[in-house]
Chains A and B, each alone.
With several copies, the nearest count.
Chain A
Amino acid sequence: MAELTYRNAIARGIGQEMERDERVVFIGEDIGAAGGVFKTTVGLFERFGPDRVRDTPISEQAIIGGIMGAAMNGLRPIGELMFSDFVGVAWDGIANQIAKTRYMTAGQVALPLVIRTANGGGTHFGGQHSQSVENWHMMIPGLKVVAPATPRDVVGLMAAAVRDDDPVIFLDHKKLYALKEDVPDGEIVDVLGKAVIRHPGSDVTIVALAAMVHVALEAAGRLAEHGVSAEVIDLRTLVPLDTATFLESVSRTGRLFTVEENPRLCGWGAEIASIAAEECLWDLDGPIVRITTPHIPLPAAANLEDLAIPSAERVVQTVLSQA
């Protein structure tokens, strides 16, 4: 057991899997000698060498197409896109090729690959380097979507992603890179599709993901001071989606809130809300409320960005206003 940052957990998770299985390879821009522009991949190049850890040109379509082809021919590649906003440049490869090919070939083509990318805002990089794009992927049948909230989960979910025989989008959150926690030594392997209750509660259910888990936890702490007992659920993966955990929670609390970093329309929060509105409507004691970034691009200015992304204060006020 030693303290590990979320940032270092990324290299640890990838390293754990590359050590175990020589079919695991890793490509991307500046991931090798440079150790990644966020220093999330430091040491991998030295450990596994240029055949397995490889810098690419600035050619995102080739990275994504490349890992797809590599997965078709016996490897289990991980491809990095430096910022998650850049999935836009390679979206055909992700949404039309990788996601659909197994189905369209009636199961002939296996694509055990991981697309890893730095997601999320709060770092004042402006509208094209700060997006949360987990919804873009959740919307596409054939993709699994993972977004860890803690260093330990980074390692365990990375292992699960690499071992999964389907394409997995692994979204680590830039804002969390400096987050530390004690993480057990040795191999850590999770399963995809298991949410966890990070904070038990009985009055309201708050469902969150990635950086928003910490916002929700802070809010839960403050809500307790107001006499509201909030249960905080960390979804951890969007596909597969652990509906049982939040439905069960809502059936106990009667109130559902989602805290989502994404712009408002058509997000995972809407999906959760819709599932609840169909499947546990009679358990609800009040409206389902989504707390999201407004439906705007993210501004660069720190004060504006802070206003845009849901804060603990906003969660607290929203929950209290509904009480």
Chain B
Amino acid sequence: MSPPNDTFEITEATRLLLYQSMLRCRALEKKAYDLFMEGLVQGTTHLGLGQEAVAAGFAATLRPDDMSFATYRGHNHMLLRGMAMAPILGECAARANGCCEGKGGSMHITEVAKGAMGSYAIVGAHLPIAVGAAWAGVVRGTGQVSLCFFGDGTTNIGTFHEAVNLAAIWKLPVVFVCENNLYMEYTPISAVIPVEYPAADRASAYGLERIIVDGNDADAVYQTAVTTVERARRGEGPSLVEALTYRHKGHSRADPGKYRPDEEVAAWLERDPLLVYRGRLESLGFPPTVLDEMEQLARAEAEAAADEVRAAPLPDPAALMTDVWANGGSEWRN
């Protein structure tokens, strides 16, 4: 694992932002979980509980016009681009207040106006999309960076290869971030790759540097994010980052995650990114009361959002036939 880049100091303000970001992610997703339990979520949902440090570290480096693309496990990434919690939870519950008015569902959290360019439900689909968006930024001279988050299992699908290659040859401002949480759905990634690190050990195939970061350490992620985002912004091309992390829950709502050895789960729970970071902040002298208060705030924000969802109406039946086309409608004939 590359040592955290310590050529620059992380400021106190950044540290608080990172912690706050993680707390908000955690609160959001716990609330999503509660909403299933209440029977408010009818489809599926994929939580990033345990992977918050990756989302926090990268989000902290972005400009408002940068573009983030994520998977179905994308709530955290989308939240930290500035989305409010209610439209995220509302979409998980497919309510009218959802960011996609309930038409997308939990796997498609999106708010384009905030650079939350979407959550994609088909493995690998968004990698070339993120590349194309970055290219458009170059053509238009905007200086935008495109962030693309995906899992370890995604490194075995064809679009991964095509997208990283295209970004590399066109030197596009894309940061590909593989969140290696050791599993696809039920199958461990180690069973289906011939190398140790699914993303990092493939970087050289695209002329890229091998970058591995502790994905449960928000500081380490942040430093890697600064380096790779700046590199992209300078026009020096894409990076492929592998962040080692773990999901606390099963793959999706339907999965209790029983295929994982108890000791493995326990070891990673000890390395919970929030615990790790709280410990660091305390040892750096941040007062526990402030940290507690931040946590309270995050929870209150999530609870308020959940209340909004509970009160939100179902989507208007008229929404069924809107927004297939740019004219707002769905007519295919005259």
Contacts and interface: CB of A to CB of B under 8 A. Distances in A.
A–B contact with Cβ pairs below 8 Å: the answer is yes
Interface of A: 25, 29-30, 32-34, 37, 51-52, 55-75, 77, 85-86, 88-89, 92-93, 96-97, 101-110, 112, 123-129, 141-142, 164-166, 193, 239-244, 264-265, 294-297, 299-304, 307-308
A243 B120 contact: no
Contact of A244 (B127, B314, B334): B334
B89 to A, nearest CB: 14
Given A65-B132, A70-B139, A294-B330, 5 more contacts: A30-B185, A58-B192, A62-B166, A97-B129, A127-B103
B314 A303 contact: yes
A123 B106 CA distance: 13
Interface residues of B, number: 84
B187 A65 contact: no
A234 to B, nearest CB: 15
B166 A110 contact: no
B192 A57 contact: yes
Contacts of A301: 42, 94-95, 102-103, 105, 314-315
A70 B165 CA distance: 17
Contacts of B332: 141, 239-241, 264-265, 295
B321 A62 contact: no
Given A29-B185, A66-B131, A69-B132, A58 B154 contact: yes
B129 A65 contact: yes
A295 B333 CA distance: 11
B297 interface: no
Interface string B196-219: 000000000000000000000000
B144 interface: yes
28 contacts: A29-B184, A59-B156, A59-B158, A62-B131, A69-B129, A73-B132, A74-B142, A97-B120, A102-B323, A105-B100, A123-B43, A126-B105, A126-B107, A129-B44, A142-B324, A164-B326, A239-B332, A241-B333, A265-B332, A295-B332, A296-B321, A300-B43, A300-B102, A301-B42, A301-B95, A301-B103, A301-B315, A302-B42
Contacts of B111: 108
Contacts of A193: 334
B319 to A, nearest CB: 6
A250 B325 CA distance: 29
A302 to B, nearest CB: 5
Contacts of B330: 141, 294-296
A124 B129 contact: no
A137 to B, nearest CB: 12
B136 A65 contact: no
Contacts of A165: 325-327
Interface in B42-87: 42-44, 67
Contact of A243 (B108, B128, B333): B333
Contacts of B333: 240-243
A103 B108 CA distance: 11
A266 B310 CA distance: 40
Nearest to B93: A301
A62 B103 contact: no
Nearest to A55: B187
B129 A72 contact: yes
A76 B256 CA distance: 34
A258 B234 CA distance: 57
Interface of B: 42-44, 67, 94-95, 99-108, 110-113, 117-118, 120-137, 139-140, 142, 144, 146, 153-154, 156-159, 162-163, 165-166, 169, 184-187, 191-193, 254-255, 259, 314-315, 317, 319-328, 330-334
- Of A25, A37, A51, A69, most buried by chain B (CB within 10 Å of CB) is A69
Given A96-B122, A129-B121, A65 B159 contact: yes
A275 to B, nearest CB: 8
A100 to B, nearest CB: 9
A128 B139 contact: no
Contacts of B154: 58
Given A59-B157, A107-B328, A166-B325, A92 B122 contact: yes
A75 B138 CA distance: 11
What are the 10 tightest A-B residue pairs by CB atom distance, in nearest-first order?
A65-B128, A69-B132, A300-B105, A165-B326, A66-B132, A34-B186, A301-B102, A57-B192, A126-B105, A69-B133
Contact of B319 (A69, A106, A302): A106
Contacts of B144: 73
B112 A296 contact: no
Contact of B100 (A96, A106, A243): A106
A86 B110 CA distance: 21
A105 to B, nearest CB: 5
A153 B131 CA distance: 33
- Of A56, A102, A165, most buried by chain B (CB within 10 Å of CB) is A56
Contacts of A307: 317, 320
B108 A73 contact: no
A239 B332 CA distance: 6
B162 A59 contact: yes
Given A72-B112, A102-B325, A66 B166 contact: yes
- Of A51, A62, A89, A102, most buried by chain B (CB within 10 Å of CB) is A62
A102 B322 CA distance: 10
B108 A105 contact: yes
Contacts of A55: 187, 191-192
A104 B315 contact: no
Contacts of B129: 65-66, 68-69, 72, 97
A294 B321 contact: yes
